[in-house]
């Protein structure tokens, strides 16, 4: 059974810091991995999608990497801003031939001005 873990559960950093969020999964037979942000009481906003054949994806200040063999992904946020404060979720798709996503419990990020 696929299990997805995100560490740390919560993180508080001063504005301007570069930071790394971690996501690990137990079954490496995935088709893709998607990172989301979620603001309190809101839906999920897609940040980056990495297909299993890719090693990384970049969008603006965000960079996500994927190492399938070790069951790990990282989300790198450069020059953090207070507006980055949110919960960040990773989801893996395609385990056991299913199209559903399995989510981690998220990392709650607070960027202090």
Among 3, 15, 42, 79, binds other proteins (CB under 8 A): 42
| Cβ–Cβ < 8 Å for 7, 88 | no
Instruction: Rule CB under 8 A: say whether 60 interacts with other proteins.
Output: no
Instruction: Rule CB under 8 A: say whether 102 interacts with other proteins.
Output: yes
Return the structure tokens found at 56. Answer: 């990384």
**Distance of alpha carbon 40 from its chain centroid, rounded?**
17
Q: For residues 18 and 59, which CB has a smaller minimum distance to other proteins in the complex?
A: 59
User: What binding mask, one character per residue, do residues 14-33 give for other proteins by CB under 8 A, x or -?
Assistant: -----------------xx-
The count of other CB atoms within 10 Å of the CB of residue 65 is 18
Closest Cα partner for 91 from 53, 37, 13?
37
Q: For residues 17 and 91, which CB has a smaller minimum distance to other proteins in the complex?
A: 91
């Amino acid at each position: 059974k696929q299990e997805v873990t995100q560490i740390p559960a919560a993180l508080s950093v001063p504005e301007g810091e570069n930071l790394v969020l971690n996501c690990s999964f137990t079954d490496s037979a995935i088709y893709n991995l998607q990172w989301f942000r979620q603001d309190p009481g809101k839906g999920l906003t897609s940040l980056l999608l990495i297909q299993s054949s890719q090693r990384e994806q970049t969008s603006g200040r965000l960079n996500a990497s994927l190492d399938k063999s070790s069951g790990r992904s990282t989300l790198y946020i450069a020059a953090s801003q207070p507006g980055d404060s949110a919960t960040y979720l990773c989801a893996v798709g395609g385990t056991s031939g299913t199209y559903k996503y399995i989510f981690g419990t998220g990392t709650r990020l607070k960027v202090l001005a």
